[in-house]
Structure 1
Amino acid sequence: MSNSLYRFGQLLCRCFFRLFFRVQILGKENIPASGGVLLCCNHIHNFDPPLLGAFIKRQTRYMAKAELFEVPILKTLITKVGAFPIRRGMSDRQALRTGLKLLKDGEVIGIFPEGTRSKTGELGEGLAGVGFFALRSDAAVVPCAITGSYKPFSTVKLIYGKPLDLTSFKESRASAEEVTKKIMAGIQNLLNEYKN
């Protein structure tokens, strides 16, 4: 799915980030050009979702908290740019089904496995939903890391890592929790390597 509103939003986001921060984007070549992709990123700020998708060619879809879809104008806008709702704090089967269908249809989904922003900047525990998506789809799982503080004119780095090889986990029928731990370790490795 790609539309002019999303592309316009991307352009605005790129201008914003380049104007107010020294943005460094690394590893874009690690994102497959086609097929389902799961971008799995740490979460330190409200700017993380637009940053994650602003500088790549493919459209990124996001799960957004259901409360945002209760605001009429906002609901229209975020729906048009490809977001879909998830009820936090519970198992939302509809959101899981929607995400799985998007991945099987070859879409890119940006996901923040911690489920909420980190108050300390340290990576927290991941929720099992990301492992579910990884196990139940053939999507490439790309760990991502954002470092920096989003202070005006400071350096913010976004790193797209190499897709994780989850073959052994699928063959051994590992649990979603085990796969989530593997994904979180991939994110942590990037954070360790590219600390500002």
Structure 2
Amino acid sequence: MSVYTFARSLVYGLLKPVYRMDVKGRENVPAEGGVLLCCNHIDNLDPPIVGITAPRDIHFMAKEELFNVPILGKLLPHLNAFSVKRGMSDREALRKGLKVLKEGHVLGLFPEGTRSKTGEVGKGLAGAGFFALRSNAAVVPCAIIGPYKPFKKLKVVYGKPIPMDEIRANKVNAEETTDIIMNEIKKLIEQNR
């Protein structure tokens, strides 16, 4: 059993009794091939929640600072996470993310880059659009609908892949592509509140 599989089972066992998870649309995540999974960000628990509810293993981009935290920093690479420097163009992280997608894995991103203080979906960073345009990956929006309150329902909704062919053909730039992705996440939240 891999560290990822063990950790996923452990985290599921810890979080399942606390949050009444209502998961919808898992079938919208393609069973194989590269997938760019883009989700809103409302809590520190978002990555583990997506990790235990998604039907496939996820490679997450995580802020560089987390890799300096004792124990967690050593564990993260075994959980398919890799670091990204925030606030600048991190070419190494971009290369690593493209490699994950080209190898047919799932790359998990929180395009806002930081947690929303209000719970509302914020503006996404151009990185999500970059990965969507530079790969042939399916782009799947995901919405976590909180709040995170013990024994209350927490919804996780996986939307249908965004049709990227037209967006790629029309030479839409990375920032506009990210806006399209963020709008799809907003729609999922509005439809499932």
TM-score category by the smaller chain? over 0.9
Identity level (%): 54
8 Å Cα contact 1:65/1:86 also seen in 2: yes
Per-residue CA shift, 1:21-66, capped at 9, x if unaligned?
A: 1111100000000000011000000010011110233110101111
8 Å Cα contact 2:147/2:154 also seen in 1: yes
Q: Counterparts of 1:55 and 1:113 in 2: how far apart (Å)?
A: 19
Q: Counterparts of 1:177 and 1:57 in 2: how far apart (Å)?
A: 28
Q: Counterparts of 2:160 and 2:51 in 1: how far apart (Å)?
A: 17
Structure 2 counterpart of 1:120, from 87, 96, 118? 118
- Could you say which residue in structure 2 is the equivalent of 1:132? 130
Q: Counterparts of 1:144 and 1:164 in 2: how far apart (Å)?
A: 11
**1:69 and 2:64 correspond:** no
Q: Counterparts of 2:84 and 2:77 in 1: how far apart (Å)?
A: 13
Q: How does 1:158-177 map to 2 (within 5 A)?
A: 158-177=156-175
Q: Counterparts of 2:42 and 2:72 in 1: how far apart (Å)?
A: 23
Q: How does 1:28-39 map to 2 (within 5 A)?
A: 28-39=26-37
For structure 2, list consecutive stretches of 5 or more residues without a partner in the other structure: none
Q: Counterparts of 2:64 and 2:54 in 1: how far apart (Å)?
A: 26
Q: Counterparts of 1:87 and 1:180 in 2: how far apart (Å)?
A: 19
What amino acid maps onto 1:63 in structure 2? M
Q: Secondary structure at the match of 1:20?
A: coil
Q: Secondary structure at the match of 1:130?
A: helix
For structure 1, list consecutive stretches of 5 or more residues without a partner in the other structure: none
8 Å Cα contact 1:63/1:86 also seen in 2: yes
Q: CA deviation at 1:16?
A: 2.0
Per-residue CA shift, 1:122-180, capped at 9, x if unaligned?
A: 00000000000000001100000001111110110000000000111111111001111
What amino acid maps onto 2:175 in structure 1? E
| TM-score, length-scaled by structure 2 | 0.97
**4+ runs deviating over 4 angstroms:** none
What amino acid maps onto 2:163 in structure 1? D
> RMSD value over aligned CA atoms?
1.1
Q: Counterparts of 1:75 and 1:21 in 2: how far apart (Å)?
A: 26
What amino acid maps onto 1:39 in structure 2? L
- Could you say which residue in structure 2 is the equivalent of 1:90? 88
**1:180 and 2:178 correspond:** yes
Q: Secondary structure at the match of 2:17?
A: helix
**How many aligned residue pairs are there?**
193
